[in-house]
Amino acid sequence: MSNNKKKANKNFFKSPFFIFIIASLIATFILNSLLSFATAPLEKEIYYSDFINMIKNDEISSVTISSDKIIIKTKESVEAEQKFNEAVNGVTGFDDILEISKNFEFFQKKDIVLYTGYLNDGDLIKILTEHNIKFSRPVSESNFLFDIFLTILPFLIMYLFLALIMRKMSKKIGGGGGFMSVGQSNAKIYLENKTGVTFNDVAGQEEAKESLDEIVDFLHHPTKYTVIGAKQPKGALLVGPPGTGKTLLAKAVAGEANVPFFSLSGSDFVEMFVGVGASRVRDLFKQAAAKAPCIIFIDEIDAIGKSRDSQLGGNDEREQTLNQLLAEMDGFDSSKGVVILAATNRPEILDKALLRPGRFDRRIIVEKPDLKGREEILKVHIKNVKISDTVDLHEIALATSGAVGADLANMVNEAALRAVRLKRTEVMQEDLMEAVEIIIAGKEKKDRILSEREKKLVAYHEVGHALAAAKQKNTDPVQKITIVPRTMGALGYTMQMPEEEKYLMSKDEILSDLTVLLAGRAAEEVVFDTKTTGAANDIERATNLARAMISQYGMSDEFGMTSLESIENKYLDGRSVSNCSEETRTKLDNVVISTIKESYENAKNILTENIESLHKIAEYLLEKETITGKEFMSILNGVDDNVSEEEE
């Protein structure tokens, strides 16, 4: 027998399904025994001579003659059984139950079975016939093997059914071995360039590519590193927000490396049965050692690498899997050429033992791309798209500040779809700009009809934003104003585009942004003396920005350079967590409210001073519904020039 067959047999006898079947058989046998004991009649043995005397005294109703004994049924037991059946028939009241209980001892006689040993008595049949006693012999004896087969058959059918289901699931997942391969690793193996992705397909992450390219080079040419005494890094952790290209980078490594590349997700290790994940980790590293040099990539490693703690509700299976992973990463020899890559967007929850040098030696940050990076990413994604010569990718990159690679890929695809809808053969600049707006605010909702009053409110609201941006320093210029509703809930919006990429914000810039955000509500109050729900998102953003300015950036006179809040999950939702007492938090709330009020008053002052421009631009916007930044500035400058001439 081969080693694989021996291993399969060994796994079979250790499998939870085999244990389940054995346990079920034992439980069934015990249950049947207990039921047989509980329901069996009370047997009493008598002498054969007493049996003959009972026949002569007409005390016997019938006998059953088997191969080794004679079972006797007396007339008294038959009578008792008849009375019992009559007594219990139609019993409904409590008094009837008491009456039956009085005769309980008599009714017990119906369950007493007498028997005696069978003797080769040639006169027995004659005596039974003379006294009119019924006699018979069992047709067949019980077959023990047949009973066992009937007991096992249901479990055998269930086992075969589960085996068929698990085998089909295994094929769908892409694993091998079927039903008994539950403890084996189901990593996908990529060889050479089968992923179809190389470093040329990854843009905007030059530092990350440089670190990974060094690892690939180490695998290909280890000698030039070992000569100087350098050791190969055991592992590298890719960290960054969703959509920045962590998995794409790993696939690019697979494309660049001419070595086996094992790719799987952290959730692939976690199963219902405790110990299966640890078994899969062992099997994965065993396969990797056999194919070294190679690369192992674990995506979303936080699924198994979450920090261990002593809190209630811990996951034994996950912790066992993590412990096995830690042991394997410590145990393998990096000189053999096994490198581990992992990706996560939640590094703060990973176990400290997993992050220490010697396991993951490098932390590669895959951040949101900057202006140059976004432009390079756009170039990668438009390679297979027909575009017009007038397309300016630099302008698109400026308009997509904060977008990640996945967002930019989606924008290019949306632009191509729009060009097809408009029956064009190439993508224009307007298609790309419209795609940017679709990703930010959604598609135009043409079926939403606003009343004249609501439309006017929205127009003044949006012009209020634009006017506050134009009349202040340290603000981005207005690119577009529209009052066409969008599918994401916006009834209109004002789009600003930075003139250059900025990495820092001053206090003056933050205060100017607060004024711009609150200028929409200010326009409603200045012109219509009312307040609407349209400013809800503006107020939320302004409050968050003001709180961050005071609690995180140290820009308030009241608290100075004190950190009152910190950020958790900064690569995901960026939720802030308080670091101060309840009393200090109350003071913080008061300062935030005061800052918002000051910015709101400043916005109202700007609009009041430029009320003529506000009316002029709002009327034009109501007529056109959408105006560009150039049109906005042209009207604003024209009004300002007229005002200056009148003053002169």
| 285 pLDDT tier (thresholds 50, 70, 90) | confident
Can you tell me the mean pLDDT for 279-286?
A: 83
| Closest-CA residue to 465 (of 477, 448, 450) | 477
633, HSE (Cβ side, Cα atoms, 13 Å): 11
Structure confidence at residue 499 (pLDDT): 80
Which tokens belong to 625? Answer: 């519904």
Structure confidence at residue 614 (pLDDT): 93
Q: Please determine, for residue 169, whether its predicted confidence score (pLDDT) is greater than 60.
A: no
Distance CA 33, CA 19 (A): 21
Structure confidence at residue 220 (pLDDT): 80
Exposure string over 507-516, b if 16+ CB within 10 A, otherwise e:
eebbbbbbbb
Most confident residue range from 182-196, 220-234, 357-371, 414-428: 414-428
Structure confidence at residue 225 (pLDDT): 81
To the nearest whole number, what is the mean pLDDT of the chain? 79
Structure confidence at residue 177 (pLDDT): 44
Q: Which residue has the higher pLDDT, 447 or 191?
A: 447
Residue in this structure with the two tokens 């539950």, named with its chain if needed:
182
Q: Please determine, for residue 504, whether its predicted confidence score (pLDDT) is greater than 80.
A: yes
350, HSE (Cβ side, Cα atoms, 13 Å): 23
DSSP at 42 = E
Q: Please determine, for residue 617, whether its predicted confidence score (pLDDT) is greater than 90.
A: yes
With beta carbons less than 8 A apart as the criterion, state whether 568 and 348 touch.
Answer: yes
- The predicted-structure confidence for 44-60, as pLDDT tens digits, reads as follows 778 778 888 888 888 88
Helix or strand (DSSP H, E) at 619: helix 611-624
With a pLDDT cut of 70, the percent of the chain lying above it is 75
Can you tell me the mean pLDDT for 104-123?
A: 66
Q: Which residue has the higher pLDDT, 150 or 535?
A: 535
Q: Please determine, for residue 2, whether its predicted confidence score (pLDDT) is greater than 70.
A: no
Backbone phi and psi for residue 616, each to the nearest 5 degrees, phi listed first: -65, -50
- The predicted-structure confidence for 510-553, as pLDDT tens digits, reads as follows 999 999 999 999 999 999 999 999 899 999 999 999 999 999 99
Return the CATH class of domain 46-141: alpha beta
| 174 pLDDT tier (thresholds 50, 70, 90) | very low
With a pLDDT cut of 90, the percent of the chain lying above it is 23
Can you tell me the mean pLDDT for 235-253?
A: 87
- The predicted-structure confidence for 300-353, as pLDDT tens digits, reads as follows 888 888 887 655 445 567 788 888 888 888 766 666 678 888 999 888 888 888
Active site residues: 462
161-167 LR contacts (CB < 8 Å, sep 24+): 162/17, 163/17
Distance CA 476, CA 598 (A): 21
Backbone phi and psi for residue 203, each to the nearest 5 degrees, phi listed first: -130, 160
Structure confidence at residue 232 (pLDDT): 77
Distance CA 497, CA 633 (A): 14
Structure confidence at residue 469 (pLDDT): 94
Helix or strand (DSSP H, E) at 549: helix 536-551
Q: Please determine, for residue 7, whether its predicted confidence score (pLDDT) is greater than 60.
A: no
Q: Please determine, for residue 173, whether its predicted confidence score (pLDDT) is greater than 50.
A: no
Fold annotation for 452-647: Methane Monooxygenase Hydroxylase; Chain G, domain 1 (1.20.58)
The greatest distance separating any two alpha carbons of the chain, rounded to the nearest whole angstrom, comes to: 150
Structure confidence at residue 108 (pLDDT): 52
Return the CATH class of domain 183-365: alpha beta
Distance CA 277, CA 273 (A): 8
Q: Please determine, for residue 357, whether its predicted confidence score (pLDDT) is greater than 90.
A: no
Residue 31, C-beta contacts closer than 8 angstroms, at least 6 positions apart: none
- The predicted-structure confidence for 572-589, as pLDDT tens digits, reads as follows 777 788 888 899 999 999
Structure confidence at residue 189 (pLDDT): 56
Least confident range from 153-167, 341-355, 412-426: namely: 153-167
- The predicted-structure confidence for 358-395, as pLDDT tens digits, reads as follows 888 888 888 888 888 899 999 988 988 999 888 999 88
Most confident residue range from 43-57, 96-110, 259-273: 43-57
| 179 pLDDT tier (thresholds 50, 70, 90) | very low
What are the sequence ranges of the domains in the chain? 46-141, 183-365, 371-441, 452-647
| Partners of residue 297 on adjacent β-strands | 263, 341
With beta carbons less than 8 A apart as the criterion, state whether 321 and 273 touch.
Answer: no
Structure confidence at residue 180 (pLDDT): 44
Return the CATH class of domain 371-441: mainly alpha
